[in-house]
Amino acid sequence: ATISVSLMMLAATNETLQQTDDLVECFHLFL
C-alpha cells in the first residue's frame, strides 16, 4: 500500500512539473 501511495505521489509531482514547464513556456511567449 505504501509503495502505491508513493508512486501516485511521484506521478502527481511529475504532472505538476510538466504543467509548470508549460506555464513557463507560456510566460516566455508573453515576455
Q: What's the pLDDT at 28? A: 83
The tens place of each residue's pLDDT in the chain, 31 residues long, gives 588 999 999 999 988 989 899 889 888 887 7
**What does R_g of the chain's alpha carbons equal in angstroms?**
14
| Amino acid (one-letter) located at 6 | S
E strand segments, the chain: none
Q: What's the pLDDT at 27? A: 85
Q: What's the pLDDT at 1? A: 59
Tally the domains of the chain: 1
Q: What's the pLDDT at 9? A: 92
Q: Which domain holds residue 17?
A: 1-31
First to last CA, the chain: 45
